[in-house]
Amino acid sequence: MVKASFLPPNFVEDSFGHHISYLRVSITDRCNERCRYCMPEEEQKWFSREETLSYEEMLRIVRIGAGLGIRKIRVTGGEPLTRPGAADFCAELARIPGIEDIGISTNGTLLAKIEDGVTLAEKLVRAGVRTANISLDSLDPATYRLTTGRDLLPRVLEGIDAAITAGFESIKFNCVLMKNQTESEIPAIIEFARKKNALLRFIELMPVSTQEVLSSDNFLPVATAKALVEQTHGALTPLPEFKTNGPALYHLVPGTGQKIGFIGAMTNLHFCESCNKLRLTCDGKLRPCLGSFLEFDLLSVVRAGCSDDELAAFFRNVVARKPKEHDFRDNYQPNRKMIAIGG
Ligand code: SAM
Ligand code: SF4
């Protein structure tokens, strides 16, 4: 990867002084799981191949973004590893001057899959992917099935081991908090993350799916989760200096040195203060904020044959429209489900 220091300091800044340096690229809206909070239960209408950006189109967009200061890419979805060629795409991303850090968000089910004689995890590491964020809401097979709609916990556990063997620089587990479900599992998930030497983040449910699931009956605030952790593990020490390019607030578990993050999109009123992100959806919309209905149609512009300068101007305009903060708390209407945005 080519270091940013060799490039002109051409950073894009939003109206609130944030340097936008992080682009989440969703490469598919398809998934082999059916998480209750991410996609509705009814039959999905997937984007067709024509409606989806090709890898070449995505690479061009990232190249333009890198010229404006994008340094970190997280490849996501849907489940990114269901799209053929995902690891090769990551290898191409790593060759783009300016891109210094590539991560992947995955449900883990396909990390142990063998492709070209190696695991997909190994392929990703060889491609230059440094970090893997793996969803892990439950270690109980029945609860896992209830949440994800699939019996794939054993494959996820194999995937986690494949990721460890492959040698990602960092592995994080993401656990979405569900009331009357996560509470009893918190100690086991913490212990599992400690054993696997992974960072663990507890994530508040966000209103980016069906209303039935995102009700107060299911909502478990991060403050409650933190209090539950403290009941079993003792007082946590806040680590305000420890940041991993996201909004998680990390804490140290006494006695073990383990770090746990809390992502409180709904209850943390400072959540958006250091946001440095844009999102590219797989159907080519550039979204300045996960928690805003705003999105801008880059696919049409790219396919209309625009120049690189025009694309760069498009990027700048989207950054200029980045809201100060998300609308999650104010009747947020995302106009699409999480699975079609890219988490
Ligand atoms: N399929 C991959 C996975 O599950 O990690 C990547 C895409 S998924 C949309 C990215 C992250 O978003 C996951 O950690 C998932 O748990 C989280 N997520 C999805 N819907 C959510 C919601 N309504 N509230 C909070 N987090 C959500
Ligand atoms: Fe699929 Fe990830 Fe959404 Fe679950 S959270 S349905 S695994 S994209």
Pocket test for ligand 2, best of 27, 30, 31, 337 (most atoms within 8 A of CB): 31
* Protein residue with least CA distance to atom 4, ligand 1: 107
339: helix, strand or coil = helix
- Report all structural domains of the chain as residue ranges with CATH numbers, in order of start: 22-341 (3.20.20.70)
Pocket test for ligand 2, best of 27, 83, 107, 214 (most atoms within 8 A of CB): 107
Contacts of 335 (CB under 8 A, 6+ apart): 293, 295
Contacts of 82 (CB under 8 A, 6+ apart): 28, 30, 31, 32, 110
Residue 333: the pLDDT is 60
171: helix, strand or coil = strand
- Nearest ligand, measured from the Cα of 222: 1
d(CA 25, ligand 2 centre) in Å:
15
**How many Å apart are CA 237 and CA 254, to the nearest integer?**
7
Q: Partners of 329 in the beta sheet?
A: none
Q: What values do phi and psi take at 159, rounded to 5?
A: -60, -40
Report which of 318, 335, 340 is spatially closest to residue 13, judged by C-alpha positions: 318
**How many Å apart are CA 76 and CA 157, to the nearest integer?**
20
* Protein residue with least CA distance to atom 19, ligand 1: 38
Q: Are strands 199-203 and 170-176 parallel, antiparallel or unpaired?
A: parallel
For the chain (343 residues), the mean pLDDT of every run of 10, in chain order, is: 48 75 95 88 81 98 95 96 98 97 98 97 98 98 95 98 98 96 96 97 84 80 95 92 81 92 82 83 91 86 96 92 72 66 73
**How many Å apart are CA 46 and CA 32, to the nearest integer?**
13
d(CA 172, ligand 2 centre) in Å:
16
- Nearest ligand, measured from the Cα of 174: 1
Could you tell me the CA-to-CA distances from 95 to 99, 106, 127 in Å, in that order? 8, 22, 10
* Cβ of residue 105 lying under 6 Å from some atom of ligand 1: yes
